[in-house]
Structure 1
Amino acid sequence: MDCETGFCKNDVQCGGAGGRPPASLAEFTLGGYGDQDYYDVSLVDGYNRQVTIEPIEGTFRSTGGKYDCKKAGECHSNLLLSCPEPLRHLNSQGHTVGCNSACTKFNTDQYCCRGDYKTPETCKSSTWPVNYPKYFKDNCPTSYSYAYDDEKSTFFCRGSNGRISPDYRVTFC
């Protein structure tokens, strides 16, 4: 078996390692700070398919906040069809099968938020040579678009009726 993106060497299970970028990621911290779950959809390693995470009605309690038990990862369009040319990941037939992040594609300290750019204050995508995260954020506003996009992309939720965590629906489409 070999997938064109997101594959883990010669194994279906990654064993704690990430898959081969570009790969859309569903990320969870269950029972985290304040006895609540934290979840997000990350495009920091690029995009290969839309992923959404949604708490299932009746299993959570929400305070109604913008990021409290809401659906993460919705996109307005298929990024494979509109991926900026320099970020396209092509298969052997020349078809776009993924959209790399700037870090994955160019591997610079600035695009990867490391070295002199390792803090939220020094790694702002608006100061990059090309603001590629804006493309991801404009199309998938509730997904992480680069390393320090926490403020607009991290969701949280608590279980209801004695449950520590809600149930979640993770959709890959």
Structure 2
Amino acid sequence: MPMITSWVIPTFFLVISFFFSGSSCTFTITNSCPYTIWPGTLAGAGTPQLSSTGFRLDSGQSVSIPTIPGWSGRLWARTGCTFDESGAGKCQTGDCGGRLECDGMGAIPPASLFEITLGTGNGLDFYDVSLVDGYNIPLIAAPRGASGACNATGCAANINMGCPKELQVVGGEEEGGVVACRSACGAFGLDQYCCSGEFANPTTCQPSSYSTIFKSACPRAYSYAFDDGTSTFTCKANEYAVVFCPSVNGVKKSDDPIVPIEEPSNGEVVSKVSSSNIRLPLPMPILLLILILLFGVYYDYFTAFDSMPQS
């Protein structure tokens, strides 16, 4: 019987330990809005991009995105988007370089952001919902399968309805045409609002009358750069549910099973699915480990077969 070389065995246990280490985490993104959104993702420095950096999510759909331990980055929703078959286009809010896949481009403000840094091993996750770059639609983020007391955070209020005229982004028919609400920094660019220059520290940069509007509507969300005390949360969870346009009574959770996307035989990109829930593929590092393992097994088998004496 062919023998597996010594380098394949550690690789096998590396793959197995990843899945059973308890350090992996999944983001489940749900669109509870009565309209289509296009979520975007952006990895922080030193961590790889997720398996998808931008996709369409129709009303009522959910998508499950696996991550790796230590991943850091942000998620947001784009609205009012149009894309052609090549993925080129634009969005009214949250646009990321005019592409369906953001590919390392962040959201153009204003956009409501879910930010997270996952812990490694037994380390805690740090997460928040930020309105520092402004607001476009409501979102709630809630840990699931968590150990200990973990809190949901976010902004379920519709700030667009009460956004001051000088901060309004107008471009749609809904809600009087207001599709987003800029931050004071984004609207005026002054150091005192941007916490820059002589205001680049928590002593001199204080809440403004504008950031107070955001804070009053959404007490747990970041309203300005140094709003750490009431806006950063820690947890150790195996899943984070990110719900856009959450229901008034809390986080909406679909009862339907999450099923994988089936790729068409002609290689075209799937833009819509029949299920209300979809699962995105594993991150590239995991796929590479699995491919390395399979290559080693087959290589050893055929090498041993060729070396057998022929009758």
What TM-score range do you get, normalising by the shorter chain? Answer: 0.7 to 0.9
Secondary structure class of the residue paired with 1:41: strand
Instruction: Name the residue aligned to 1:163.
Output: none
Residue pair 1:38, 1:157 contacting (<8 A) in 2 also: yes
Structure 1 residue runs without a partner (length 5+): 160-165
Structure 2 CA distance for partners of 1:92 and 1:141, relative to 1, 3 Å: closer
CA distance in structure 1 between the aligned counterparts of 2:118 and 2:206, rounded to whole angstroms? 29
Deviation at 1:34, TM superposition (A): 7.1
CA distance in structure 1 between the aligned counterparts of 2:181 and 2:120, rounded to whole angstroms? 31
Residue pair 1:38, 1:154 contacting (<8 A) in 2 also: yes
User: How is 1:40-51 mapped onto 2 (pairs within 5 angstroms)?
Assistant: 40-51=128-139
CA distance in structure 1 between the aligned counterparts of 2:104 and 2:190, rounded to whole angstroms? 25
Residue pair 1:32, 1:38 contacting (<8 A) in 2 also: no
Instruction: Name the residue aligned to 2:273.
Output: none
Deviation at 1:51, TM superposition (A): 1.2
CA distance in structure 2 between the aligned counterparts of 1:54 and 1:110, rounded to whole angstroms? 32
Kindly report structure 1 stretches of 4+ aligned residues shifted beyond 6 Å. none
Counterpart of 2:236 (choices 152, 158, 163) is: 158
User: How is 1:23-38 mapped onto 2 (pairs within 5 angstroms)?
Assistant: 23-31=111-119, 35-38=123-126
Taking only the aligned residue pairs, the percentage that are identical comes to 45
CA distance in structure 2 between the aligned counterparts of 1:33 and 1:137, rounded to whole angstroms? 34
Structure 2 CA distance for partners of 1:34 and 1:122, relative to 1, 3 Å: farther
Deviation at 1:122, TM superposition (A): 1.0
Instruction: Name the residue aligned to 2:221.
Output: 143
Residue pair 1:38, 1:156 contacting (<8 A) in 2 also: yes
CA distance in structure 2 between the aligned counterparts of 1:117 and 1:158, rounded to whole angstroms? 34
Taking structure 1 as the reference length, what is the TM-score of the superposition?
0.83
Deviation at 1:146, TM superposition (A): 0.7
CA distance in structure 2 between the aligned counterparts of 1:108 and 1:34, rounded to whole angstroms? 41
Secondary structure class of the residue paired with 2:114: strand
Structure 2 CA distance for partners of 1:33 and 1:106, relative to 1, 3 Å: farther
Instruction: Name the residue aligned to 2:165.
Output: 85
Deviation at 1:149, TM superposition (A): 0.5
Counterpart of 1:73 (choices 154, 157, 174) is: 154
Structure 2 CA distance for partners of 1:34 and 1:44, relative to 1, 3 Å: farther
Taking structure 2 as the reference length, what is the TM-score of the superposition?
0.47
Structure 2 CA distance for partners of 1:72 and 1:81, relative to 1, 3 Å: same
Counterpart of 2:184 (choices 102, 105, 121) is: 102
CA distance in structure 2 between the aligned counterparts of 1:6 and 1:110, rounded to whole angstroms? 24
Secondary structure class of the residue paired with 1:103: helix
CA distance in structure 1 between the aligned counterparts of 2:233 and 2:141, rounded to whole angstroms? 10
Deviation at 1:100, TM superposition (A): 0.4
How many residue pairs get aligned? The number is 155
Does residue 114 (structure 1) correspond to residue 202 (structure 2)? The answer is no
CA distance in structure 1 between the aligned counterparts of 2:234 and 2:137, rounded to whole angstroms? 23
Residue pair 1:48, 1:98 contacting (<8 A) in 2 also: yes
Deviation at 1:13, TM superposition (A): 2.7
Instruction: Name the residue aligned to 2:276.
Output: none
Residue pair 1:40, 1:73 contacting (<8 A) in 2 also: yes
CA distance in structure 1 between the aligned counterparts of 2:121 and 2:205, rounded to whole angstroms? 26
CA distance in structure 1 between the aligned counterparts of 2:194 and 2:162, rounded to whole angstroms? 22
User: 2:112 is aligned with what amino acid?
Assistant: S
Counterpart of 2:146 (choices 53, 60, 74) is: 60
CA distance in structure 1 between the aligned counterparts of 2:204 and 2:220, rounded to whole angstroms? 23
